[in-house]
Each structure stands twice: as C-alpha cells, then as structure tokens.
Structure 1
Amino acid sequence: MKFSFPKKVMAAALCVAAFAGSAQAAEKVYRLKMAETWQSNFPIFGDTPRNMAAMAEKMSNGRLKITIDSANKHKAAFGVFDMVRSGQYDMGHSASYYWKGKVPNTLYFTTMPFGMTAPEQYAWFYHGGGQELMDKVYNKFNLMSFPGGNTGNQMGGWFQKEINSLEDLKGLKMRIPGFAGEVLAELGAKPTNIAPGELYTALERRTIDALEWVGPSLDLRMGFHQIAPYYYTGWHEPGTELQFLVNKRTWDRLPEDLQEILRVAMRTAAYDMYIQSYHASAENLEKMLTEYPNVQVKDFPADVIKAMQDANSKLLAEKAAADPLAKEILDSQAEYMKKARHWTDVSDKAYLNNFNAE
C-alpha cells in the first residue's frame, strides 16, 4: 500500500528543515587567524586590529572570532603578505608599501610624498575610486586589502646631524620605507627599511644616521629623542594608511552577514586609529617639548624641499610611463587631490591662516 504525506504537511516539514539548517548556519563560529607586522603590545598600531576583532565578535554575537599573532610570535614582520596569500593566516595587519619589492603597485595605497592628507585620502578610498584600484592590484594575488588605520601627517624623521643643504643628504643612511626612500636615493641618500623592533638599536649603534618612524604619537615611546636631537617636520607621508589584508578564499567562505560585519569593523577601527593617533601626537608633542628641551623641531631648508619635490615628480613620471596600472592609480590620485586640495585650502588652511593671524 502506497503511503504519502499530505502536501501541506510536507511543505511544513521542509520549512522546518530549512529553518533548522539556517539556524545551525547562523550559530556556526568562524575562527580566523591574523598576523600583524607589529610586536606584541605595540600601541596604536597594535590596538587597531584588536579593536577590530573585538567589534567583529560583538557585532556577530560571537560567531566571528579573530586571534592575532604578533611579529615576535610568527617571526616575519615583513612576511605578512605571503603568509596571508598562502592561507597560513586568514588576515593580516600591516602597510601596503612594504610589498613594493614584490608587487610595485602596492606602494601607492599607503601614502605618497607631497600627496593627500588623511581626510583627502579617506575620501579617495571610499568615494573617489581608491578602493576599486586597490582591488585591481590585490585581487590577482588571492588577497583583499582594506584601509587599516591612519597615522595622520608623519614627521620627517630623527637626525643625528642638522640638515642644512642637499650635501648633507649625500651618503646619509636613513631608515625610510616606501616611495620616499626612492626620492631620497635620487638625492644621494642611502635609504633602508628596518623592522620596528630594531629601530632604536640601529640608530644608537650608528648603523643608520637617521630614521623616520611616525610622529609624537609613537616616537616618544621609542626613545629616539635620547640619541638624535633633530626632529624634522614631514613631507613624505602626509596621510599614512595601514592595511587589513584578507585571504580571498577565507572571505568567500564567510556568510554575507559576517562579511559585512567584518567590513564595518575594519572601517570603524581604521578611523578610530586616526583619532587615537591624533590625540596621542597632541599629548606627546607637548610632553616632548616640555620635558626634553634638547629636542629641536626643524623644517627642512626650502632648497632641500624643492629638490625632493623635483625628484618625486621625476620618479612618478617614470613609474607612470613604465606601467599602465601605475599610471591609472597615480592619475586618479593626482586628479582627486587637485579637487580635494582646493576644498582643503578654502576650508582648513584658510581657517588656520585666519586663526594664526590674530
């Protein structure tokens, strides 16, 4: 005898099964591993991925848990790109310009000498096509890159000796990454990149003559003022944006709601870092100038700045001529900065000029 369920009963059973399946999926916990370039307990930079992970876990009601390994654990401060690309880690927190030796076009998404300030750059990323261009560079490496926190305008560095002319740059051994290092090399300096945990020792032992790190927000803690009295204002990193890297396969395995939660957590943590960094720089500059009167805050001479600008323009033209994608990125940045800078001048710059005039 053939027995069959009534259609309504069958439909109800299917609905119950579907609901149970979706409920089970909603309860599944996704555990991701992140590698950061920074040492453990490193302030501001290290706070940012932890703030992001905490937000993601809370917003997902515990379904998204991210553990973070610092450089002193994974032993590869500048290996984050490869570790996330290979799937050894699901995510990374670092800076895009560290990968210029592997993928030259990653260089442009951290900051550029004489380029956009932090607000201008955020506007470019989120509304001016910057994120889409970053996607174009990273997608072919099974990676996704997102803005990961901004330091604001960085200082030009700590120097053992005063810079009075272009001659003082010739042969100067300086820790300075990114495109700025190429600019200084054009002027006869010898740029190098050194992991954050090794900077103080390198400057103290005169392995290098000068270094740039960030600004008062982090430099005071590093102790550079104890061994290099000249602290120069910035030109090379007007809006330094760190990055969150995500393995594309990891991203694709996440449900859509967790993808959106992760996206929102990264964006919020990035902006929070900018505010935190600004606050710390304001506090630490005041402390530095009050408690360490040996520190001399100086501007580079006008002829040195002009030579840096000329070298920067020359190198940008060479990069654009050699690579169509580099040209697309650089043209986009230049066009957006022209538009944004006009507003910056009419708003912030005019306000500060008026304020200082009183």
Structure 2
Amino acid sequence: MFKLSNVKRWLVAGVASLALAATAHAQDKVYKLKLAETWPSNFPVFGDAPRNMAAMAEKMSGGRLQITIDSRNKHKAPLGVFDMVRAGQYDMGHSASYYWKGKVPATLFFTTMPFGMTAPEQYSWFYYGGGMDLMQEVYGKYNLMSFPGGNTGVQMGGWFQKEIKSVEDLKGLKMRIPGFAGEVIAELGAKPTNIPPGELYTALERRTIDALEWVGPSLDLRMGFHKIAPYYYTGWHEPATELQFLINKRSWDKLPEDLQEILRVSMRAAAYEMYIHSYHESSENLAVIKTQYPNVEIKTFPSEVIESMRKVNNDLLEKYSANDELAKKILDSQATYLEKVRKWTEISDKAYLNSIAQ
C-alpha cells in the first residue's frame, strides 16, 4: 500500500486546509511581520522571492498575515540581516546563509559547497536527507529558524579582467567571492573579499577588485559586468546556491498554528518559483550575451586550476571536520547523501544529455 512521506503528508494536509482556515479566521486578529532583505529595492529574481512569499501568505491567510519588506536601501545593513533578525529588530530576513560564516562558521554549509550537490540534489538533502534538521540545530542556538529561500542553480565562475591560464594567475588576484570558495582560492594565493550587491559594479570598474562572481546570466547581464570584464568563466564553486528565509523564533511562536503552516507553504513555494525563474532568465540572457556581446569570452578554467581547487577544497573540508564536531556532522551528512544521489543524477540527467549529444 502506498504510504505518504512525512513531507508529502504535511504538504497535502497543509495546502488542503489553507482555504478553510483563511475563511474561518477572516475576521480574526491580523499579524504583521517585518522582513529585512540583503538586496536593493526592486532587485530582480532575488528580491522577487520574499515578495512572492509575502503575497501568497497574505492571500492564503485571508489577510490575517501581512509581511512588509525593507530592502538594504532602507535598513542600510545588507550584511546585517542575521543580527537584526536575531535581535528582534525584524521578524524575518531574506539573505544567504554563507554570509554569516564569520559569526557562526557552521552556517556556511547551507548555501552551497564547491564541487557539491546540484539544486535538485540539495533540495532532496534538505527535505528528505536530514538537512533541515541540521540547519535548525545550527540556527536554533541563536533564537532563529532558517528555511530554503530560493535557488540560482549552478552559478558561473565569475567575470575576470584577465584570462586565467594557470594557478599562478590566481596569486594576488583580488576577487569578490563569498563562502567556502573564498577560502579555497585564498589558499591558492588569491585575495577574496565580500562586497554587497549594490557595490559590485563600481568596485570592478574602479579596479578595487580584479574579478568577481555574482550569479549567472539571470542577473549578471543586468549588472553590466560584461562592459568591464570580458572573460566569463563557468562554475565550480556554487553548484546550488540556496538563499534563505530567516525567522526570529519568538516572532514565529506568536503566530497561530495555521499561520505557521501558511508561512511554511509560502516560503517553500516562493523558493521553487525563484529557482525556475532564475533558470529561465539565465537561458534568456545567455542568448543575449552570445548575440549582442560577442566580445565576451565564455571560458572554462583549465583542468590544472580545477584540480588544484578541488585538492584545496578537500583539504579544507578535512580541517573543518577535524576542528568542529558540528561541522563534521553536517559535512558527513552532505557527503553521504551526495554519494548516493549523484549515482541517480549520473544515470538520469547526465546519461540523457550524453546520449542525445552523440
């Protein structure tokens, strides 16, 4: 007899009850939450995710759950979302987990990892492989809850003003690149830095940095990087960049149970919507790059560079695991799940693409 998983049962029961709950409580108390996002006002794709979430939550709750969003233009702290939500200045946040590695190193692992899982693999790990429980184990210590907030898919390796022909070309390279990947290239002699989205173009134009990675064609073309950096490299460092919804635990606990379920459903639906939107926009903008900006050279890092990065990456993972019990627990979970799920990816997606390319 077919048996629904816990997640499927939650989705079926939760969604089925939303309309009834919204109608039954239409005249009840209105709960108002404030959300701080890392992104500038009207920022496409990334900024759409929290707005879609808020609109769905309000509609499904019959107006009982209302979420207002402050962009970085208002709160002036794009990389301060963690602290603002933790302190209760905001009830919610939309950002990326790896931005907090300087405060809580274990948060690093819930955005994406170099040479790691693709977006479908990572979503499977979150919802069926124990990733959500591990994420809550990390964030719960700080009075926070974290949920997947939208995925970009495989990100491009970045825009470079000079061609990368060898590992030697990375030495002294000033590059905007956050997360674990920044630590990897630092070991190879580069100088990684993290810069908020609104300052990237200026930093590259003024040569404050020599290179940067942002997302991919879905967003990079709008940023204008192709005007000042002609080399565009394919990815290795962020195969499944998952943004996050942060929630202050006290704010969550004040919500009635039905509104908590509505919020869960809204966040999950908005995250998936961002993933497919990003995929669409990248395909559209890649075509524009190829037809309208032929000066852009799309390149892949030499195998020597990739293998050097992979070796450093593996060495760093071993160090993290040796020095941090929680990091080891998360990394072991990801490695075990990847070993299993990748076998399916290889005989499904990869085999399909290889077959039709013959």
TM range (shorter): over 0.9
Q: What secondary structure, in the 3-state scheme, does the structure 2 residue paired with 1:27 have?
A: coil
CA 1:249/1:292 → structure 2, altered by over 3 Å: closer, same or farther?
same
Q: What secondary structure, in the 3-state scheme, does the structure 2 residue paired with 1:201 have?
A: helix
Aligned to 1:122: 123
CA 1:88/1:344 → structure 2, altered by over 3 Å: closer, same or farther?
same
Q: Distance in 1 between matches of 2:206 and 2:91?
A: 37
Q: Is it true that 1:153 corresponds to 2:137 in the alignment?
A: no
AA aligned opposite 1:253: K
How far did residue 26 of structure 1 move? Answer: 6.1
Percent of residue pairs identical? 78
Q: In the TM superposition, what are the counterparts of 1:1-358 in structure 2 within 5 Å?
A: 27-357=28-358
Q: What secondary structure, in the 3-state scheme, does the structure 2 residue paired with 1:125 have?
A: helix
User: Which structure has the bigger radius of gyration?
Assistant: 1
Residues 96-129 of structure 1, C-alpha deviation per residue, up to 9 Å, x if partnerless? Answer: 0000000000000000000000000000000000
Q: Distance in 1 between matches of 2:356 and 2:64?
A: 50
Aligned to 2:3: none
Q: Distance in 2 between matches of 1:107 and 1:25?
A: 40
Q: Unpaired runs of 5+ in structure 2?
A: 1-23
Q: Unpaired runs of 5+ in structure 1?
A: 1-22
Structure 1 stretches of 4+ with a deviation exceeding 2 A read 23-26
Residues 26-85 of structure 1, C-alpha deviation per residue, up to 9 Å, x if partnerless? Answer: 610000000000000000000000000000000000000000000010000000000000
Q: What secondary structure, in the 3-state scheme, does the structure 2 residue paired with 1:154 have?
A: coil
Q: What secondary structure, in the 3-state scheme, does the structure 1 residue paired with 2:159 have?
A: strand
Q: Distance in 2 between matches of 1:320 and 1:286?
A: 42
Residues 179-229 of structure 1, C-alpha deviation per residue, up to 9 Å, x if partnerless? Answer: 000000000000000000000000000000000000000000000000000
How far did residue 24 of structure 1 move? Answer: 7.7
Is the contact made by 2:26 and 2:62 (CA closer than 8 Å) also made in structure 1? no
Q: What secondary structure, in the 3-state scheme, does the structure 1 residue paired with 2:295 have?
A: coil
AA aligned opposite 2:173: L
How far did residue 356 of structure 1 move? Answer: 1.1
TM-score by length of 2: 0.93
Q: Distance in 2 between matches of 1:325 and 1:86?
A: 24
TM-score by length of 1: 0.93
CA 1:27/1:200 → structure 2, altered by over 3 Å: closer, same or farther?
same
AA aligned opposite 2:69: I
Is the contact made by 2:217 and 2:283 (CA closer than 8 Å) also made in structure 1? yes
Q: Distance in 1 between matches of 2:208 and 2:337?
A: 40
AA aligned opposite 1:80: V
CA RMSD, aligned part only? 0.9
How far did residue 144 of structure 1 move? Answer: 0.1
AA aligned opposite 2:289: M
Residues 236-292 of structure 1, C-alpha deviation per residue, up to 9 Å, x if partnerless? Answer: 000000000000000000000000000000000001000000000000000111000
How far did residue 355 of structure 1 move? Answer: 1.1
Q: Distance in 1 between matches of 2:232 and 2:26?
A: 55
Aligned to 2:6: none
AA aligned opposite 2:268: R
How far did residue 141 of structure 1 move? Answer: 0.2
Residues 144-203 of structure 1, C-alpha deviation per residue, up to 9 Å, x if partnerless? Answer: 000000000000000000000010000000000000000000000000000000000000
How far did residue 25 of structure 1 move? Answer: 9.5
Q: Distance in 1 between matches of 2:193 and 2:29?
A: 46
Question: Paired residues, what number?
Answer: 335
